[in-house]
Each structure stands twice: as structure tokens, then as C-alpha cells.
Chains A and B, each alone.
Chain A
Amino acid sequence: MKLSQKIEEKFFKIMMIFSTYFILVVLTIIIYSIFEKGIKAMSWEILTQIPKGGYYYGKGGGILNAILGSLALAFGATILAFIIGLPVALYINVFLIRHKKLVDIIRFLLDLVWGIPSIVYGAFGFSLMIFFGLQTSLLAGILTVTLFILPIMIRSMDEILRTVPIGLQEAAYSLGSNKSETAFKIFVRQSVSGIITAVLLSFGRAIGDAASVLFTAGYTDNLPNSLLEPVATLPLSIFFQLSSPVPEVQNRAYASALVLTVIILLVSLFSRGLGKRYHKTKINF
């Protein structure tokens, strides 16, 4: 081997190791800086109270409105997306299994929709709201976020459902079950763990996205008590508090960011744990 070749070999190997560890180090720095700033600013008051008068000038209160609002919004959207998404994923994999071209087109459309930025959904949701004469509200937020997480949910369920072996389907038919029974009783049970993962993934997306709720969910200092009223969300509360010039308010933004990050890390941990647990119901071939 020539010397130049040897140098090239070494050079690229070092670059590869460098970039791999670069990613890991950046991840550590992100987590560290969020936790370091967040824990310093964290207090019981922030977690359990709604903003009081003068909150945005540094007076007392907390972000309970945003925490509960975000949870309500994400739960609503996830449930709605599940109700629409699961049948679609099942239909593709049970009813259309012999029409490969059609399935490919549907998957392609879903991938297209997945790639659309969330701000576009926000703008679309906003124009729909104006069209129907709705105000910024929890309901409008839920509907918009549902559209946004729908392709994510369907495609991740689809990836699991397509691994269900054709033999299982044939066995179900031969025992006399019809197609929708096969779908909802056999396919769902066989892929519970994957479906849970898909749902939790979508939940994480729903709770973390700010651009789509910016126009549609509005913002309020009160707790959410009706579907037709505006609702506060964690990402927006971080954003608004951070743009304040008062240091106390900025500190609370760090605390809010910590809350959001912890929720998302918990969701991701949870999905790993549950995925393993429900693996037992699966029939292995």
C-alpha cells in the first residue's frame, strides 16, 4: 500500500470516529444544559400553580396551565388520530394485501404528508378556523395536531402490521372469521407492542410541537375547562417566557423546558418498556 493510501485510510477512519462521538457529545451537552439550567430554576410553585397577576414581570405563579393544557391537547389529538389511523393501517394490510400498487401509492401519499412542515398545518388549521368562524380553542388545536400526527401514527403502525405473516391471516380465514374480524382481533393482538410504540411516538410529537398550535390553540393563563376555550401549551409557554427581558421569567422558561424534556424522555422510556412487556402476546413463527 502506498503512503498516500495509508494516510487516506487513517484520515477517514479518524473523521468517522470524530463525527460519531461528535453526535454523542452534542447530545450530552444538550441534555446537560437543559437539566443544569432547568433544575436550578425548578420549584414546587412552578409545577403546581397557574400564573398570578404580574407573572410575566417576575411575580409569583407557575406553569400548571401549560402542563395541563399540553397534556389535554396531546391526549385529545392522539386519541383522535388513533381512531382514524388504526383502521387505515389495518385496511392497507388486511384488505389491500393483494393490491400492491395501490398500497404503494397510499404509502407514498402518507410519506408525502409526513414530510409537510408543521407550520403549514398550523396555517391550514387557522384558515379552516376562520372559514368555520371558530376561535382559537383547545378543539381547533386538537384537530390541527391530529392532522399533523396522523401520517406519523399510520406509517409507524403500518411498518409493524406489514410484518404479520400471511399464514396467520390465512389461518384466521380458514377458521371462518371475516376480514374485519381478522383485522381487529388477530392483527391488532399480534402487533400490540408496535401499536403502543406508534401511539406513544405520536404522543411525543403532539406534545412537543409548537408551530401547529401557535395559531390554533391560542394561549391563556387559566386552566383548560372547555373544548371551545383557548388553551396554554408547554412549547409556547417556553417560547413566550424566553422572549421576556425579565431574568426570573426566563428562568421559568428553563424550568418549563425541563418539564417538557422530562415528559418526552419518560414517554420514550415508557414505550420501550411497554413494547417489551406486550411482546409475550405475540405468536412466534
Chain B
Amino acid sequence: MYLLNRQQRHVVNYSWMIISLLFVAFLPFLLFLGLYLKSFLLIHDYSIMDLIFSKEWRPASGKFGFYPFIVGSVWVTILAMLISGPICLLTAIYVTQYTRKHFLRIMHPAIDILAGIPSVVYGLWGILVIVPFISKYLGPWLGVHTMGYSILAAAFVLAIMIIPFILNILIEIFKAIPVELKEAALSLGATPWQTIKHVLLRKALPGIIAAFGFGLARAFGETMAVLMVVGNVVRLPKSVFDPGYTLPALIANNYGEMLSIPKYDSALMFAALLLLVVSLFFNLVMHFFIVKYNKY
């Protein structure tokens, strides 16, 4: 009934496993190498420092300054984290410490749905709800003239997008804290909030940092939703109500013309390389926080 005998089947299965494993294990290096080779033309002609810190972006005349895009990305990411971080932390504490178990049964599907919504749909929602809200209500209320398509809009959409991601990790972290620690603090007369502040948060600190770091890396590389609401203007933003431009948006917007201008494709691959390095770096560092957390 089988084409091969037992031993042969074992060999086939085994070699397929090994091939797949090697492929997957070398994937990050392959990605890095591929993008590095493609952007080599640019790195060879300009110094990396020049590329990162020069403000002029005029590909047609050979000027590749990534500074506006990097600043845009950093603004959007940090702002998104400032909105999302506290909300996630407070929610994670609330659902793990204050509510009954069945509340988590409502929260989990909600988090799953939030996590499953594609980024284009988030972008669409941003255009439908967030952009008009900023241009019609928030802007005039604060006395700023704004189109709505702005750093703030992108940050807000991004903040919502990374909530499920951060929240899931935080909930796992708070669930993993032994209940005895909490009981000991409470029995010594600490109030619930004091217990959380002085015991739980201190215990969970490396884990919380890791969760925020993973969220940060995720937010930094998010493309479509940001692209749709950030405004895409190559200029250093002066306030959060100004439009900006991010690194992923730069790649996504210009792939069509990248073969028509010399070195343009190299420049875009360099942007992708930057994203890759930032993402790998953050994940690497945060991994050590998680390891440290598990060792306690």
C-alpha cells in the first residue's frame, strides 16, 4: 500500500524536515544579504551617515537624504506608543487583577478580532473616522489649521493596531506572576493598588519593557495603514498636526518608478534594509528582557 518501505519513508521525511529547517533558519540572513547586496550601490557611493542625516530627498538629481523619513517614522512610532502603552498596561492589569475569569473570555475574542483586521482596513477606518475627526474637531478646537492627514492621525491608527499585539503579551506576563506574591503583599496590609504598584509592576518590569519593545518594532514597520493617513509630504514635521512621511510608506509609494531613475531602486532597498536592521535590533534586545524575566 505504500510506495516506499518504512526505512525509506523515514529517510524522505527526515531529509525534508532538515531541508525545511535549514531554509527557515537561514531566512533572516538571506533577507539581510539580499537587501544589502541590492543597496550596495548606494552604500558604496555615499556614506551611511550622510544617507541617514542628510535632509535632501531629490532622487532625480542623485540626492538621497533619508532624514525626513526617519524623523517621520520615529515621531509616528513614539506617539503611537505613548497612546497605546498606558492603555494596554492599564487594561492588562484590570483584566488580570480586578475582573473575574469570564471577563477574559469576552476580551480574548475582541483582541483576536482587533489583531485579525488587515492594515488596509485600519487605514480605511482612519480615513473615514480619524482624519475627519482631527480636521473638523480636534484641530479647530486646539486652534491649529490641519488637513487631518497628519502624524497624529497615523499615530492614532497605529496605536489601535498594536493594542492587540502588546495587550496579549502583557496579559500573559501578568497571568504568569505567582499569586502568592500578591497574597503576601495584601496580607501585609497593602491596598490593591499598592500591591500592583510596588509588587506586580516591579516583578513584571522586564516583561513590560519587552512587550513595549516588540510593539515599537511592529509599529515602526507598519506600512499600509500609515501610508493611507500620514499625508506623504517629504518635509520635516513641525508639529503632530503636520503631514509627514515614513520609511515603509516611502518604499510602498515609489516602487513603480524605482527602475526609471538610477540608484533609486538601491535607495528603496536601503530603506528596507534600515527597517530590517531596526526590527532585528529591537527584537534582539527585547528577547533578552524576556529571557531575564523568565529567569526570576
A residues lining the B interface (CB < 8 Å): 1, 5, 8-9, 12-13, 15-20, 22-24, 26-27, 29-31, 33-34, 37, 84-85, 87-88, 90-92, 95, 106, 108-113, 115-124, 126-128, 147, 150-151, 154, 178-181, 183-184, 204, 207-211, 214-215, 235-236, 238-239, 242, 253-254, 257, 260-261, 264-265, 267-268
Contact = CB atoms under 8 A, between A and B. Distances in A.
A66 to B, nearest CB: 12
Specify which of A19, A150, A179 lies most central, judged by the most chain B CB atoms within 10 Å of its CB. Answer: A19
A78 B24 CA distance: 15
13 contacts: A19-B94, A84-B23, A85-B24, A120-B272, A151-B24, A180-B9, A208-B117, A242-B228, A257-B120, A260-B118, A260-B121, A265-B113, A268-B113
B10 interface: yes
A117 B125 contact: no
Contact of A235 (B6, B224, B255, B276): B224
A115 B223 CA distance: 14
B282 interface: yes
B286 to A, nearest CB: 9
Nearest to B253: A214
Contact of B252 (A113, A119, A242): A119
A1 B252 CA distance: 57
Given A91-B21, A268-B116, A9 B279 contact: no
Given A116-B279, A181-B10, A208-B121, 9 more contacts: A13-B193, A27-B110, A108-B287, A119-B252, A124-B272, A128-B34, A180-B9, A211-B224, A267-B116
A30 B117 contact: yes
Interface string B21-58: 10111011001001101100000000000000000000
B192 interface: yes
B24 A110 contact: yes
Contact of A88 (B21, B31, B221, B271): B21
A124 B35 contact: yes
Contact of A209 (B94, B119, B124): B119
A34 B94 CA distance: 29
Contact of A87 (B16, B35, B228): B16
Contacts of A15: 90
B287 A111 contact: yes
B255 A208 contact: no
Contacts of A84: 20, 23-24
Contacts of A122: 251-252
B211 to A, nearest CB: 13
A117 B248 contact: yes
Interface stretch (B62-70, B134-142, B212-220): B212-220
Contacts of A18: 90
Interface in B217-270: 217-218, 220-224, 228, 248, 251-252, 255, 268-269
A154 B24 contact: yes
